[in-house]
Amino acid sequence: MPGVKKYDAIVIGGGHNGLTAAAYLSRAGKKVLVLERRYILGGAAVTEEIFPGFKFSVCSYVVSLMKPNVMRELMLPKFGLELLPLESTFTPLDNDYLLRTADADQTYREIARHSLRDAEAYTRFGPLMGQIGMAVRPILETIAPNPIRPSLSDLSKTKKLLDHFKTLSSEQFEYLTKLMTMSSADFLDEWFEYEPLKASMAASGIIGTFMGPRSPGSAYVMLHHYMGDIDGAFRAWGFQRGGTGAVSMAIARSAEYFGADIMTEAPVEKVIVKNGKAVGVALENGDEYKSDIVISGLDPKLSFLKMVDESDLPSDFVTDIKNFRIRGSSGKVNLALDGLPNFTCLPGDGHHLRGAISISPSYDHLEKAYDDAKYGNFSKEPYMDIILPSVLDPDMAPPGKHVMSCFVQYAPYDIKGGWNDQKREAFGDAVINTIARFAPNIKDIILHRQVLTPADLESTFGLTEGNIFHGELSLQQLFTMRPAVKWADYTTPIKNYFRCGSGTHPGGGITGSPGEMAAKKILGIWS
């Protein structure tokens, strides 16, 4: 009977981080309840059959940053985790193309076709970024210390990190500093000269951010994307069989296997706070659930400005949360296709369709797309990261048909005049027209299209302002400052109220990391 049954922990939100936290807590023997607002689990990592026979990873579409220890500890392969490699990155140009593949020799020759110098530099760049990615990992894997009133363990954590930095070579330290502060364009200009190559690499520095490739700070996001590893290989991107929703489902099954209860269509109205302590949650339908602790997988804005009353929080903390930047900048267009797109520069089927297709012919293309967004419009010619999941996993579409996932930037949340149906369609048209520039047959093969604006991402998935990372990945919103100083260790000013979403350290992407680290922090407090 609702209201009576007592849980050790309740997780608000059945996104992949919420599920991960639930799985870890259950695995430690705790009784956990996960409450998901929608009919389906996964949050932004969800697969839905939008059109009959066509399955889409509706939002998040690739897996690169998932932590291997999470996969192992939660036994995810047993519950359906199957990651297929994304073979290549294909950048179509008007009269040529750039195709980077898993084979180093092949990629060397392909780049050498455009620039001999770049081909050579590329062989050094990847390993160096991998090394730096490895160098940052201890930060990512450390629960952020409190710099205001550091505890003994905070001090020892800080010392450990400092000691770690002393082990870096000065070259690594130099590049790390640059990556933390520079624009991806400036950083890449130090290495390369061929613009489509630079633009395609810089593109990973703008994904999910409200920045252009020439905006300082974008290099860090680029590094963030270099930190993923699948099968121990850095920066290997993967596609989950059955779509990213299958990742969430694997975690959910793991959580259930360890004893968690999971409820869908159970929207939480409020966290019940008594005497400064969280004691349970109230659902929109009036049901109440009691528990020792409550964990929010929602973004910081929803977690603090909606789920609890401001009066239960210190006022400077409320200011910090209000100042937390969470501007959404991306949209998603999902297409059901009657066949494969045919690229003018590289016609027909081939390797190039089995990987990411990056619409990033030049810095200017990206920068102009950003300019549109800066001044309150969606990009007329957007940057896109496209994949064709049905090429990798035929089950995603009926035989002979295909699904195409287009991650699109920029689509600002705060568009001039606000988003409406007409603007959504115009945005969809801009996307199709841009693809048609490189693959003219696209217009003839579209069976259905789904266009998601940041406003849609907010209303459907509860992402405030449609921000896919639960808060921008800017330097001042990382580590001890994510989401606010003193509260970056998954605790909150409300006792027994915790957080585990992407809006905590180490941030967004399908990593499972915030969920895992939050659970570990909580278990530490409990023991």
Partner 1 sequence: MSYENQFTAHTQLKLSPFFKRTSKLNESQEWRRWSGFLAATNYELHHENEYFAIRTKAALLDITPLKKYIIEGPDSQRFLNRLVTRNISICKVGQVMYTPWCDEEGKVIDDGTVQRLSENKFRITSAEPNLNWIQHNATGMDLTVRDDSVSTAALALQGPNSRDILNEVASDSLDSLKFFWMMDTTFGDISVSISRTGYTGDLGYEIWMDPKDAIAVWDLLLDKGKSFGITPTGLQALDIARIEAGLILLDVDYVSSRHALIESRKSSPYELGLGWAVKMKKKDFIGKAALEAEVVRGPEWDFVGIEIQWHELEKHFRKAGLAPGLPSTAWRTSTPLYKGSKQVGYATSGAWSPILKRYIALAHVKSEYADEGSELMFELKVEHYRKLTPAKVVKTPFFDPERKRSCLA
Partner 2 sequence: MNRFDVIVVGGGINSLITASLLGKAGKKVVVLEARDQVGGLASTTEFAPGFRCNIINDTLKWIDPRVMKDLNLEANGLALIQPEVVQVTLSENGEHISFNRDPRLTAASIANFSQKDAKSWPAFIEYIEKLAQFLERLYQLTPPELPNIGLSEILPMRLMLGPAFKHGTRGLVDLMRVAPMMMPELVDEWFENELVRSAISMAGINHLSFGPFAAGTGYNLLHQHVHGKGVFHNTQFVKGGTGELAQVLASVAGSNNVEIRTGSKVKSIDVENGRCNGISLTGGESIQADRIVSGLDPKNTFMNLVGTSNLNPNFHTQLNNIRYRGSTARVHFALNKLPEINGILQDQMKTVFSVGPSIEYQERASDSVKYGTIAENPTIEFTIPSLINHEFAPGGKHVLSATVQYAPYHLRDQVWSSKLNEQLKNNVVRVLDNYIPDFSSLIETTSVLSPKDLENEFGLTEGNLNHGEMTLDQFFFMRPTMSTAQYKSPIENLYLCGPGTHPGGGLHGTNGFNSAREILKG
Interface residue list for partner 1 (CB under 8 A):
103, 105-106, 108-109, 116-117, 119-121, 123-124, 127, 131, 169
If one asks whether residue 16 binds partner 2 (CB under 8 A), the answer comes out as no
**Least distance between partner 1 and beta carbon 101 (Å):** 9
Using the minimum distance from each CB to partner 2, give the nearer residue, 181 or 342: 181
Return the residue of 71, 211, 392, 415 that touches partner 2, per CB under 8 A. Answer: 211
Q: Comparing C-alpha atoms, which of 319, 320, 300, 318 is closest to residue 309?
A: 318
For 83, the 3-state DSSP assignment is strand
In the complex, the smallest distance separating the C-beta of residue 481 from partner 2, rounded to whole angstroms, is 6
Q: Which of 309, 364, 425, 444 forms a contact with partner 2 (CB under 8 A)?
A: 364
User: In whole angstroms, what separates CA 305 from the centre of its chain?
Assistant: 22
Please give the backbone phi and psi of residue 117, each rounded to the nearest 5 degrees, phi first.
-65, -45
> Strand runs (DSSP E) across 199-284, as ranges?
229-230, 233-234, 238-240, 261-263, 268-274, 277-283
**Region of 12-20, 212-220, 352-360, 396-404 interacting with partner 2 (CB under 8 A):** 212-220
- Least separation in angstroms between residue 143's CB and partner 2 is 17
d(CA 299, CA 370): 25
Residue 125 makes contact with partner 2 by CB under 8 A: no
Q: Which two tokens stand for residue 366?
A: 């990206």
476 binds partner 2 (CB under 8 A): yes
Residue 117 vs 306, nearer CB to partner 1: 117
Residue 523: how many CB atoms within 10 A of its CB?
A: 15
Distances in Å between the alpha carbon of 237 and those of 47, 208, 242?
18, 17, 16
Buried b (16+ CB within 10 A) or exposed e, 80-90: bbebebbbbbb
Q: Which positions from 270 to 309 touch partner 2 by CB under 8 A, shown as an x/- string?
A: ----------------------------------------
Cβ proximity to partner 1: between 130 and 339 the closer is 130
315 binds partner 2 (CB under 8 A): no
Strands 288-296 and 497-499, sheet pairing: parallel
Residues linked to residue 357 through DSSP beta bridges, in sequence order? 90, 386
The one among 49, 96, 174, 349 contacting partner 2 by CB under 8 A? 174
Number of residues that bind partner 2 (CB under 8 A): 36
Could you tell me how far CA 341 lies from the centroid of its own chain? 26
Judged by beta carbon distances under 5 to 8 A according to partner kind, the member of partner 1, partner 2, none in contact with residue 408 is none
- Least distance in Å: CB of 127 to partner 1? 6
**Strand, helix or coil at 305?**
helix
With CB under 8 A as the contact rule, the residue among 85, 126, 138, 216 that binds partner 2 is: 216
In the complex with partner 1, the residue whose CB is nearer, 124 or 448, is: 124
CB of 103 to partner 1, least distance (A): 8
Closest to partner 2 by CB, 179 vs 494, is: 179
Question: Least separation, in Å, of the C-beta of 128 and partner 1?
Answer: 8
CA distance 506 to 512: 10
Instruction: State which residue, 166 or 274, has the beta carbon closest to partner 2.
Output: 166
* Residue 120's binding partner out of partner 2, partner 1, none, with CB under 5 to 8 Å set by partner kind: partner 1
Tokens of 19: 């599920």
Q: Residues 82, 485, 493, 495: which binds partner 2 (CB under 8 A)?
A: 485
Q: Which residue of 108, 165, 234, 257 would you call a contact of partner 2, by CB under 8 A?
A: 165
Give the one entry of partner 1, partner 2, none that residue 257 binds, where binding means its C-beta sits below a cut-off of 5 to 8 angstroms depending on kind.
none
* Among 482, 81, 104, CA closest to 299: 482
State how far the alpha carbon of 475 is from the alpha carbons of 81, 217, 414, in Å.
32, 7, 22
In the chain, the amino acid numbered 61 is Y
Strand partners for 337? 402, 446
Choose which of 104, 116, 233, 475 interacts with partner 2 (CB under 8 A): 475
The answer to the question of residue 480 lying near partner 2 (CB under 8 A) is yes
Nearer to partner 2, 320 or 456 (CB): 320
Report the nearest approach of partner 1 to the CB of residue 117 (Å). 5
The CB-of-354 to partner 1 minimum distance in angstroms stands at 15
Q: Which does 57 bind (CB under 5 to 8 A by kind): partner 1, partner 2, none?
A: none
- Does position 325 interact with partner 2 (CB under 8 A)? The reply is yes
Q: Is 17 left (phi over 0), alpha (psi -120 to 50) or beta?
A: alpha
Cβ nearer to partner 1, comparing 190 with 284:
190
Q: Which helix (DSSP H) or strand (DSSP E) does residue 369 occupy?
A: helix 363-374
At position 58, the amino acid (one-letter code) is: V
Among 190, 265, 309, 429, which residue sits at the site for partner 2 (rule: CB under 8 A)? 190
CB 297 within 8 A of CB 15: yes
Cα–Cα distance list, 9 to 6, 74, 213, 280, 363 (Å) = 9, 18, 42, 9, 48
Compute CA 17 distance to the chain's CA centroid, rounded to the nearest angstrom: 11
Cβ within 8 Å of residue 157, ≥6 positions away: 142, 143, 145
217: partner contacted, choices partner 2, partner 1, none (Cβ within 5-8 A by kind): partner 2
Backbone angles phi, psi at 160, to 5 degrees: -60, -40
The DSSP bridge partners found for residue 83 are 240
- C-beta closer to partner 1: residue 123 or 433: 123
User: CA 514, CA 494: separation in Å to the nearest integer?
Assistant: 19
Residues within the interface to partner 2 (CB under 8 A): 147-148, 165-166, 168, 170-171, 173-174, 177-178, 180-183, 186, 190, 211, 214-217, 319, 323, 325, 364, 367, 371, 374-375, 474-476, 480-481, 485
